[in-house]
Structure 1
Amino acid sequence: MSDTHPDADADSTVLGRRYVALLFADLSQSTELAGALEAEHYAQLLAALRRAYQDIIPAHGGLVVRVQGDGVLAMFGYPATREDDGRRAVEAALQLHERVRDMHLELAGVPPLALHTGIHSGLVLLGVGDIERGRFELLGPVPNVAARLSTAASANEILVSEESLGPAHRFFSTGPARSLEIKGQAAPMTVYAVHGRAGLAEHLDNLERYRYAPFVGRRAESELLETRLAEAIAGRSHCLAVAAPAGMGKTRLIERVLANAAAQGCRVVRGYCESDLGAEPLQPFVQIVESLSREMPEKAADGMCGLFAQLAQQTPLVVFIDDWQWADELSKQVLAALRRLRDCRLLIVLATRDAKADGVFPVANETIALAPLGDAEAAQAISARLPAVDPFVAAEIARRAGGNPLYVEELCHSTARGDTAAVGRPRGNAGWLSHLVESRVQHLPPAQTELVRMAAVIGNVIPVWLFETITCTDTDSDLVRGLAEQDFIFPGELAGTLRFKHGVARDIIYESVGLHERQQLHLRIAQAIQRHSAAADHDEALEALAYHFGAGGDGASAARYAELAGDKALKASALDRARAQYRAALAALDKLPDSSEAAQRWVSIVQRLGMVCVFDPSRSELALSTRAVHLAEQFADAASIARARYWHSYISYSLGDARSAIVHGERALAEAEAIGDEPLAIQIVATLGESHVLAAHYEAGLQLLDRAIEVKRRHRSGRRTNVGLVYSLVCRAYVLGDRGRFEQAHECFDDALDCIVDETHEIAATLHGWRSAVLLWQGRWHEARETAVMSGRIAEATRSLSQLSIAQAIAGYAQWKIERAPHAIQAIVEATDWIAPRESGLFRSFNHGWLAEGFMAMGRREEARHHAALALRRVRERDLIGVAMAYRALARDATARRPGAAGRYIEQALRVARERDSAHEIAVTRLCAAEIAIDQGRAEQAMALIDEAAAAFDTMRMAWHLDEARRLRSLAVAVAA
C-alpha cells in the first residue's frame, strides 16, 4: 500500500496523508520595518531571512514548504515520519529566533529583529505544490492551527501546542500552560511558550512533572528492583535494565526506586541519551560528571570506572540512565567497563526500549521486561485520572489502551476535556503520539506496512478468514508473526481472530490511509463479508456490514444493516449497541435523497431508539424525537403521527421532564383515540400514568395505570415478557410504597416479576431497582442493598448506565445506613456523576436528597447544602421524591445556627410529604422534628412527635425506624427528667 493517492489519474496532485509537525514563523513588526528601510536594504533583510530558513530548517530534519515575504512554512515528518518531529520543529524555531535576534540593523527608530512562531502537529493531506502554494500543498485543520498560533505569538515568542510537544516538553524551558481559543476548534487549545532548551536539572525536573498515568501495580518489578538496591547497598554491584516499548512506565517505576534509594542515604546520579537530534559522545556520562562538578577524565572508560568506584566507597551509588536505546558507542564502552566492577556499592539502572544491545547481547546483567497493565491495574489508573468516569467509558478506555499506561493517560485526558464523541480515542489524535506510532509503522518492511494498514481498515478485531481474503496473506506467515513481535497485531482472545494490541495505534494507522483508498477497501471488505455470510448466520455480520458499507460510502446499505443490527441488539438487551446502531442508521439515512419512504423509516427507527432511551435515557434523543414528530406530520399518516408523539412523550418521561411528557402524552392520546387505534391508546394511557406518578400526581397516575394494567393483563400471552405491563405494575408498586402500603407494594412487585420470562431483560433491572428503593423507605437496609446489587448486575449485562447509576446509588445509601462509612456516600457521588453529562433527571432528586443527608451527618456542611439545593431545584420539574429529605438535612443544619429556620424547613418537608401523600415520609419527618426538639431542650414536644411517628412506623411495619423512635423517646425522657 503506497502513499500515492489511488485516484492518481483523476487527481495527480495528491501525495497522501501524513502525520507532520508544521512550523509557521513571521518577522515581527514587518510593516514598520518595510517602511523604515530602503527597498534595497529590505530586500537584503529578506534574503538573509531566507538563508536562515534554508540553513536551519533542513539541519533539523525539516523541509521548507513555502517562503512568502518574510515568513516561512516548514514541515517536519516528510518523507518519513519520526517520533520526535515536534521536538525537531521546536529546536529549529529556537535556532531561527536566535539567528534573527543576532541580525543587527543600525538604523534609528528601527526595533530589534524578532520572529513570532507557531508550531502544531497532526494529520495533513499532502499535495504537489506550485509557484503559489509552495513546494507542497497542505490541506486540513493542522496548517490553519499552526498559522493561528503564529499570529497569537508575541514578538520573539514560540507558541507550541501541547499535542505537538507531549513528552518532549522535558527538553525545553517553557512558560505555564495557556488556554487559547482557536477559531474553528470546538474547545480551547493548551499551548506553551518555549523560552529555550532545558538544562540537565530542568530536564530532570520536567521529566518528573510530565507524568503519564499514575503509578499502579508493578509489584513484582518493584520488589526485584528493591532487592537489587539492597544488594548494592550491601556491596554487591549490579547493572539492571528495565525494558519496554514507549509509554509502558519504565521511568515512573525506576523513579520510585530512586526516591527510596535517596531516602536510604544513597547518592543518586542521572543521565539520559538522545536520538540523533542533539546527541553527543558519552552524553549520559558527561551529564553525570557535570552534575558532580568534576572534570571529565582523559581516558573515558577507565576514568569513569575509577570515579564511580571512588564515589561508591564514600556512599552507595545509584546510576540511572534513561533512553539507553539511543546510547552512543563510547557510552556503551563505559557501561561495559562499569559492569565489570565487582564488590562495589553500585547499582546501575537503565531504561531502554531494547532488551539487547545490537540485537544480540543483553544491555545489562539482568533485564526486567515490563508487561502491559492488567485489567485491575488499568482500572486503578483510569479511576485515579477520572474519578467520576462511568464504568462503561472506563472499560472502553482500558480496552483501547491495551494496558499501555501512556495510552491510558492520553485517553483519560481526552475524556476529561469532554471529547466524548469518540470515547477511547486520544485528543485530536495527539500529534506527538501519532508521530510515535506512525514512525514505528514506517520502520517496518514495506510488505508489513501494507499489511498493518489494511488490517487497520478491517478493524480492531480482525477475523482471520477476512484478513487472509483481503490481504492474500496467510496469518501463519513470517510477515504476520513479525507484526506480533512488533506489538501491532497478534492472535485475539476469540479463536479465529487477530487483534490490534493497542486500539489507539489502530486508530492512528487507520487515519493515515487515504480517504479514497479507505473507501475502496471498506467496500471490498463489506462485499467479502456478504459472500462469507451467505451460507452462514447472516445476523452475526450485521454490525460489520453496516460499518464497512457506511465507511465505503454506500449509505443505503449502511442504513439497512445498521437498522437490522440495532434490532438485533435491542432484542438481546444490548442497549449501548442498539443505541449506536440506530444512530448510525439515522446518520446514513440523512445522507440519502429526501423521500417519503426515507422519512417514515427515520421515524420508525427513532421510535425503536425510544425503547433504549426508556431504560437508558440521554437528552440527545429528545432532539431526534422532536424531529421525528415533524417528519411524521410532513410525510406520514395520522397513526404514525400519534405514535411519533407518543414516543416523544415517553422519552420526555424517561428524562424526568414530567410536564412535557404529560402535555405530549395527552395530545397523543387524543390523536390515537380519534383514529380508533386502541392498542396505541392503551400504551399512551400507561405512559401518562407513569408521567403523573413522576409528577407526584398519584391519584391521577394510579387511575391511568390501573386502566392500562387491566387491558394488558387480558392480552398477556405468558410466552414472552410484557415489558409495558411489568413497568406499569412497577410504577403502581412504587406509589403504594411511597404511601406506606408496603405489603401491597411488594405483592405488586411480585406480580410484575411473574410477568418476566427472561430475568436478564432490562425491565428486570428496573423492577429490582425500584423495589430496592421501596425497601429503603421501609428501612430494610440489607434487603435493599442486596436487591440493588441484583439490579446493578442486570444493568451491567445490558449496559444500561442509567439503571446501573440508580442501583449503585441505592446500594450506597443502604450501605451508609448500615455502617455510616464515608465510602458509601462516595459511591452515591460517583453514581450521580456518571449520569450528569446526559442531563437525565428521572427521580434525580433522590440522589441529591441522600447526599444532603449523608454529607450533613459527616459534618461536610457545604457539600450537604449544595446537594440540598440541587434537590430543591428539581421541584420545578415536579420531581419531589428527594425534596423532603433535603429539607430535613437543612433543618438539621439550622438547628444550632438558626433555630427558627429549622422549624420552617421541617414544615416544608411535611408540606412536600403531604403533597405526595407519603405516609412514611411524614412519619420520618416527625421523627426528625423530634430529634431537633430534643437538641433544643423541648422534650415534651419531642415525645408527642415521637409517639405519632412510632404509631405510624408500627402500622407500616418499619421496624428499624420504630427502634429509632424508641431510642429517641428514652433520650427525650432523660432530657425531661
Structure 2
Amino acid sequence: MKDDAHGEKAGMALGRRYLTLLFADLSQSTELAEIMEAEHYATVLAAVRKVYHDAIPRHGGIVVRVQGDGLLAMFGYPVTREDDGRGAVAAALEMHQRITDLRPYLPAGRHLCLHTGIHSGLVLMSTGDVELGRFELLGSVPNIASRLSDAAGPHEILVSEETLGPASRFFVTGPPQLLQVKGRAAPLLVYRVDARASLAESFSASSRHGSTAFVGRRAELALLERAMDDAMAGHTRSVAVAGPPGMGKTRLVEHFLSRVVQRGCTVLRGYCESELGAEPLQPFQHMLQALADEAHPHTPDDFDALFARLAEQRPLLLFIDDWQWADDASHHVLAALRKRADSRLLVVLSTRITPTANAPAAADQTLLLGPLSDEEARRAIEARLRVLDPFVAEEICRHANGNPLFLEELCHSAARGDGGRRLGRAQGAGWLNRLVESRVQHLSAAQIELVRAAAVIGNVIPAWLLETITGQRADGPLQLGLAEQDFIFPGERAGTLRFKHGITRDIIYESVGLHVRQALHLRIAEAMQAHSATEAQDEALEALAMHFDAGGDAVQAARYAELAGDKALSASALDRARTLYRVALAALDRLPASPAVALHWVAIVHSLGRICVFDPERSELALYVRALELAERHGDAGTIGRAHYWLGYISYGLGDGRAAVAHCERALVEARATQDEKLVVQVVAALGEAHQAAANYDRSLTLLDEAIAVKKRHRSGRHVNVGLAFSLVTRGYLLGDRGQFAEAHECFDEARASIEGLTHEIGATVHGLRSAVLLWQGRWEEASAAAIESGRNAEATRSLTQLSVARAMDAFSGWMLTRQPEHLQTIVEVTAWLVPRQSGLFRSLNHGWLAAGLTHAGRHAEARRHAALALQRSRQRDLLGAAMSYRALARGFAARRPERVQHYLDRAMEAARARDSAHEIAVTQLCAAEIAWQQHGRRENALLDAAIAGFERMGMPWHLREGLWLQSAMEAGTREELAPAPAGPALSAVS
C-alpha cells in the first residue's frame, strides 16, 4: 500500500493508529500565576514539566506537546501494546503524586495538583511542528480525552471504560458514571481512578469482571480437577492453561479456584506484567502478601523451600496469571517446584500462545483452550443479555467465532444499542482495539500488508481476489503464517479464506487509512467486475455494492446495491434486502440532485416498502415521508399514488391505524385517476387491511372482498400471488374476531394452499394470524403448532417482527396449557425485541395477554402496567388487547376495590363491541358472571346463558366447558375459588 495524501504509510509508520491519549493540566493555574512572582511561577512550571518528561516515558508513553502547564501524551507509538491504557493510568498516578509533593516558592497553604483525562481509540497521526508539537493527532479521541481532562476536578483522573476495560482491576476506582461529552452523541462511561489496586483488590475485581454464570469448558474443568486430586494425594502437578488472547483462560481458572477453596486447600495467586511493569520474582512476591506471618524469602531457593513447607501443612495451589511475561528468576522457582515430585502441590499457569512462544513448556500438562462451541456461545450470550434480538445474537456468534472475550465485548455493544444488524462493521472498545493491533504488529511487514488487504476485501475472502490484489498466493507461506497466528483460515467454501473472528477483521480494517482503503476498495470492485464477466455476476452483487460504496463510486454503488437488494428480497432475506436498499439510497443522495435521481430514489423506497409490510421499523418512516414529497414534486399521479400507498403501508405495519387509512384513501384517489387497474386493486386491498387494523370491520370487509374478487380473476397458476394471500388472511383474521371461525379457517386454508412449499415472508403471516384466531377460539395446541410454523418462516426470512409475534402466541398457548411462569416471561422478552423499532401492530395483544396472565399469577402491579400499555394503543384504534386488559383490571380490583369492578367490566364490553368481536363479548359476559358469583353470590343467569350460547354457536368448546362448569358451580351453591374444569385450567385465565 502506498502513502496517502496525509503522509500515511503501511506498516508501523504514521497514519491511523490505536492510541491512548492523556491530557493533563495544572489545577487553578491561572489563580496561582496571579499571586506568584513571574520568576517563581516559571520555576513551578519547570518542575511540573520535568515530572511530565520523567513519568511519561517511564510508563511507555511519548510527550507530544507541553503548552504552558498542560500536557498531551500518547501511548501506543511506535508500537501498540495491549497494556497502553494501563501504562497511561499508571503514569497519571505517578504525575499526580509527584506534583502534589512539589513545593517550589508556593504561598503558605497552597499546593499543586493536576486534573487528567485519558481516552483510547483510533487516531490519525501526522508529523507536527513547533506549534502542534511532535505529532498532529486528529479524530474524536483527542477531543474526548481533552474534554475528560476539563471535566476532572483537582486531583482527579477520569478514564474512559473503553481505555481500561478488564484492566480496571489493577486500579482503585470510583463507581462508573455516564458523562455527556460535547461532540459525542452517546454518554461516555468513565471511572475516577484513585490509586493502584492492592493484590487482593486486583483479584477481587478480576473475579467480578464478567461475573455472569460460567458457561462450558466441562472437559477442561475435569482435567484440572484430576490434577488437584493427584496433588492432594501427594503427587506434585503443574498445568498450563494456554491459548490466544481472549480465550477465557483466567475465567476458567477463577471458576476452578472457587471450587478448590471449598475443598480446604490453600490458594496463593500472583500475576506477571509485561516488560514495562515487571520486577524480579513478581508473581511470587504477590503471593507473599497473603502470608504476613511468614519470613520473606529473597532467592528462588527460598521461595521453593517456603512453598514446600506450606504444602506439608495443607494442599497448596499456586496460580500465576500471564506467565508468558515471567522473568528468569520466576522460571527458576517454577523449575525447582516441579522437581519436588511428592509434594501436595498443584501449580496452575495461565499463559498465551504468542508469536514468540507457540507452546509453553513450563508445566507437565498443557491445556490448550479452543473456541466455545456454538451451543456454549449461545448460552454465554443468553447469560449476558436476557432480552436480545435473536438475529443480533446470531451476528454476535458469527463475529466472535467462539472467542469468549469477543463475545463479551459484542454483548456489551448490543446492550448499549450498538449491535444492530447492518452491512457495516462492529466497533471494538479502545482496549480491545489495542489488543488486536498489538498482535498485528508482531507480524512481518509483508504479513501486515496481506492481512490489511484481506480485511478490506471482507470477512470471507475469495482466494483468487486476494491473489489478484496482493500478488501473494492464498496458500503461500504468508497466509499460512497468518493462520498460525489465528488471523485467517481456509473458508467453509472451496476457494475462500475467512477471518477467524469477524471483530478482528473489523479492527484491522479500521486501521487502514481512508485514502488507501478507498483505493483498495475500487481496485477490488474493478477486479470483481472483470472476473464476473466470465463468472456468475449475480453472486457478487452485494460485494460489488459494498466495495463501490466504500470506494466512493456512488453511481455503481447505487446500481449494485439495488440489484443485490432485489436479489435478497426475492430470496426472502429481509434484513439483507433492507440493508442493501439503504445503501442504494445513501449512494443516490451523494449524486447531484435531478428529477431522474429523485424518482429513482422514490422507486427504491417503494422496493423497501415490500419489506416494511412484514418487518417495519419506525426509523424508516421518514424515508416514506420524503419519498412522498419527491413524488409530489417530480412524479405523475401514479407515482404519487404509490408513494401514499407505501406510506400508508408502513403506517399500518407500525400500528398507526388512522394514518394508514388516511394515506391509503389518498392513494386510492390518485390510483383511480391513473386508470391503472393493478394499482387500484393494490390500494383497495391495502385500504381494507388498514381499516381492519383500525377495527372498521364493515368497511374493511367490503374493500377486501372487492380486492380478493379481482385478484382471483387475474390469478396466474405460474406463481404465488402474495397480495391475494395477504388479503385472504386479513379477511380470515377479521372474521375470526367476529366469531365466524369456520369462515375464517376457510380463508386461512385457501391462503395456505397458495403458498404450499414456499419459504416466503407471507408464510409467517398466514400461520401467525391463523394462530391468533385459534387462540381466540381456545384451541391452544393447534394455536401453538401454527405459531411454531410461523416462527420457522420468520426465522428463515429473518423477519424480527413476525418472529416476535409468533413466539408470543406460542408462549400464550403454553401458558394456557401449563400455567408455567416462564411462558409469561417469554412474552415479556419477545415484546421487548421490538421496543427499539417502536412498532405497534399487535403489541396490544401481547400486553393484553400479559395483563391476563400476570393477574392470574397474582402479580397485580405488573399486570396493571401491561394493561395500561395495551390501552394506550387504543388511541391508534388498536383495540385488540383492550377488552382483555379491562377484564384483567376488573379481576385485579375485585378483592381490593370492588366498587371499580363494574366500571372495568363495562369498559371491556364497550371495547369488545367497538371491535364487533363476538368472542370478546361472550368471554366478557362469562367473566362478569363469574365475578358476580364469587363476590356477591349473585347469579347472573342472563349473562352466563348468553355466553354459553355464544360459545356453542361460534364453536369454542374450551370456553363452553368453562361456562358449563361455572353454571354447575352456581347450581351447587359453591362460591369458593373455582376448581379447574375437567377439560382445562381455571376460568380466570381467559380474562
Amino acid at match of 1:707: E
Distance of 2:970 and 2:444 partners within structure 1: 85
Distance of 1:227 and 1:891 partners within structure 2: 61
Cα offset for 1:757?
A: 5.8
Asked if structure 1 preserves the Cα contact closer than 8 Å seen for 2:464 and 2:474, the reply is: no
Amino acid at match of 1:779: G
Q: Secondary structure at the match of 2:346?
A: strand
Match of 2:980 in 1: none
Match of 1:956 in 2: 954
Asked if structure 1 preserves the Cα contact closer than 8 Å seen for 2:890 and 2:904, the reply is: yes
Q: Is the deviation greater in 99-108 or in 688-697?
A: 99-108
Match of 1:974 in 2: 972
Amino acid at match of 1:461: V
Cα offset for 1:344?
A: 2.1
1:237-276 equivalent positions in 2, closer than 5 A: 237-276=236-275
CA pair 622-801 structure 1, distance change in 2 beyond 3 A? same
Q: Secondary structure at the match of 1:372?
A: coil
Amino acid at match of 2:57: P
Amino acid at match of 2:331: K
Amino acid at match of 2:565: G
Match of 2:861 in 1: 862
1:222-621 equivalent positions in 2, closer than 5 A: 222-294=221-293, 300-354=299-353, 362-420=361-419, 429-621=428-620
1:945 to 932, 938, 943: 943
Asked if structure 2 preserves the Cα contact closer than 8 Å seen for 1:425 and 1:504, the reply is: no
Asked if structure 2 preserves the Cα contact closer than 8 Å seen for 1:617 and 1:654, the reply is: yes
User: Where does structure 2 lack aligned partners over 5 or more consecutive residues?
Assistant: 976-991
CA pair 355-483 structure 1, distance change in 2 beyond 3 A? closer
Amino acid at match of 1:116: H
Cα offset for 1:149?
A: 0.5
Distance of 1:496 and 1:568 partners within structure 2: 23
* Match status 1:56 vs 2:55: yes
State the TM-score, normalizing by the size of structure 1. Answer: 0.97
Distance of 1:354 and 1:407 partners within structure 2: 17
Q: Secondary structure at the match of 2:289?
A: helix
Q: Secondary structure at the match of 1:627?
A: helix
Amino acid at match of 2:632: E
Distance of 2:697 and 2:436 partners within structure 1: 60
Match of 1:15 in 2: 14
Cα offset for 1:756?
A: 2.5
Match of 2:700 in 1: 701
Amino acid at match of 2:430: G
* Match status 1:832 vs 2:828: no
Match of 2:924 in 1: 925
CA pair 358-770 structure 1, distance change in 2 beyond 3 A? closer
Q: Secondary structure at the match of 1:53?
A: helix
Cα offset for 1:427?
A: 8.0
Cα offset for 1:376?
A: 1.1
Amino acid at match of 2:674: I
* Match status 1:210 vs 2:220: no
Amino acid at match of 2:208: R
State the TM-score, normalizing by the size of structure 2. Answer: 0.96
Asked if structure 1 preserves the Cα contact closer than 8 Å seen for 2:645 and 2:683, the reply is: yes
Asked if structure 2 preserves the Cα contact closer than 8 Å seen for 1:414 and 1:426, the reply is: no
Distance of 1:273 and 1:290 partners within structure 2: 15
Cα offset for 1:861?
A: 1.4
Match of 1:622 in 2: 621
User: What does the per-residue CA deviation read over 1:78-123, in whole Å, with 9 as the maximum and x for residues that have no partner?
Assistant: 1111111111111111111112111104443562111111111111
CA pair 65-421 structure 1, distance change in 2 beyond 3 A? farther
Distance of 1:890 and 1:590 partners within structure 2: 51
Match of 2:982 in 1: none
Cα offset for 1:383?
A: 1.3
1:670-689 equivalent positions in 2, closer than 5 A: 670-689=669-688
CA pair 427-866 structure 1, distance change in 2 beyond 3 A? farther
Amino acid at match of 2:186: A
Q: Secondary structure at the match of 2:973?
A: helix
Distance of 1:117 and 1:298 partners within structure 2: 39
Cα offset for 1:433?
A: 0.7
Asked if structure 1 preserves the Cα contact closer than 8 Å seen for 2:733 and 2:744, the reply is: yes
Q: Secondary structure at the match of 2:241?
A: strand
Match of 1:783 in 2: 782
Q: Is the deviation greater in 129-138 or in 931-940?
A: 931-940
Match of 1:890 in 2: 889
Asked if structure 1 preserves the Cα contact closer than 8 Å seen for 2:44 and 2:104, the reply is: no
User: What does the per-residue CA deviation read over 1:369-420, in whole Å, with 9 as the maximum and x for residues that have no partner?
Assistant: 1111111111111112111111001100111111111111111111111224
Q: Secondary structure at the match of 1:897?
A: coil
Q: Secondary structure at the match of 2:25?
A: strand
Match of 1:94 in 2: 93
CA pair 405-976 structure 1, distance change in 2 beyond 3 A? closer
Q: Is the deviation greater in 885-894 or in 426-435?
A: 426-435
Q: Secondary structure at the match of 1:582?
A: helix
User: What does the per-residue CA deviation read over 1:336-395, in whole Å, with 9 as the maximum and x for residues that have no partner?
Assistant: 111112222211111111399955662211111111111111111111211111100110
Amino acid at match of 1:918: S
Match of 2:979 in 1: none
User: What does the per-residue CA deviation read over 1:97-152, in whole Å, with 9 as the maximum and x for residues that have no partner?
Assistant: 11211110444356211111111111111011111111111100000000000011
CA pair 976-878 structure 1, distance change in 2 beyond 3 A? same
CA pair 872-903 structure 1, distance change in 2 beyond 3 A? same
Cα offset for 1:674?
A: 2.1
Amino acid at match of 2:80: T
User: What does the per-residue CA deviation read over 1:758-785, in whole Å, with 9 as the maximum and x for residues that have no partner?
Assistant: 5211111100100011111111111110
Distance of 2:829 and 2:438 partners within structure 1: 40
Q: Secondary structure at the match of 1:82?
A: coil
Asked if structure 2 preserves the Cα contact closer than 8 Å seen for 1:273 and 1:283, the reply is: yes
Distance of 1:479 and 1:355 partners within structure 2: 17
1:121-270 equivalent positions in 2, closer than 5 A: 121-211=120-210, 214-270=213-269
CA pair 681-577 structure 1, distance change in 2 beyond 3 A? same
Match of 1:640 in 2: 639
Cα offset for 1:477?
A: 1.4
Amino acid at match of 1:527: E
Distance of 2:859 and 2:35 partners within structure 1: 66
Give the superposed CA RMSD: 1.9
Distance of 1:320 and 1:353 partners within structure 2: 15
Q: Secondary structure at the match of 1:935?
A: helix
Cα offset for 1:688?
A: 0.8
Cα offset for 1:214?
A: 4.4
Asked if structure 2 preserves the Cα contact closer than 8 Å seen for 1:397 and 1:423, the reply is: no
Cα offset for 1:930?
A: 2.2
Distance of 1:235 and 1:592 partners within structure 2: 77
Q: Secondary structure at the match of 1:601?
A: helix
Asked if structure 1 preserves the Cα contact closer than 8 Å seen for 2:24 and 2:70, the reply is: yes
Distance of 2:904 and 2:188 partners within structure 1: 46
Asked if structure 2 preserves the Cα contact closer than 8 Å seen for 1:396 and 1:424, the reply is: no
Match of 1:755 in 2: 754
Asked if structure 2 preserves the Cα contact closer than 8 Å seen for 1:937 and 1:975, the reply is: no
CA pair 238-8 structure 1, distance change in 2 beyond 3 A? closer
Distance of 1:174 and 1:273 partners within structure 2: 22
Distance of 2:250 and 2:449 partners within structure 1: 33
Cα offset for 1:234?
A: 2.4
User: What does the per-residue CA deviation read over 1:154-191, in whole Å, with 9 as the maximum and x for residues that have no partner?
Assistant: 11111111100112211111111111110111111111
Distance of 1:934 and 1:327 partners within structure 2: 79
Cα offset for 1:932?
A: 1.3
Distance of 2:505 and 2:168 partners within structure 1: 25
Amino acid at match of 1:850: W
User: Where does structure 1 lack aligned partners over 5 or more consecutive residues?
Assistant: none
Asked if structure 1 preserves the Cα contact closer than 8 Å seen for 2:288 and 2:296, the reply is: no
Q: Secondary structure at the match of 2:192?
A: strand
Distance of 1:17 and 1:740 partners within structure 2: 66
Amino acid at match of 1:237: T
Identity of aligned residues (%): 61
Cα offset for 1:425?
A: 8.8
Match of 2:849 in 1: 850
Amino acid at match of 2:841: L
Asked if structure 2 preserves the Cα contact closer than 8 Å seen for 1:122 and 1:429, the reply is: no
Cα offset for 1:789?
A: 0.5
Q: Secondary structure at the match of 1:196?
A: strand
User: What does the per-residue CA deviation read over 1:694-721, in whole Å, with 9 as the maximum and x for residues that have no partner?
Assistant: 0111001000111111111111112111
Q: Secondary structure at the match of 2:15?
A: strand
Q: Secondary structure at the match of 1:511?
A: helix
Cα offset for 1:209?
A: 2.1
Amino acid at match of 2:859: R
Number of matched residues?
A: 973
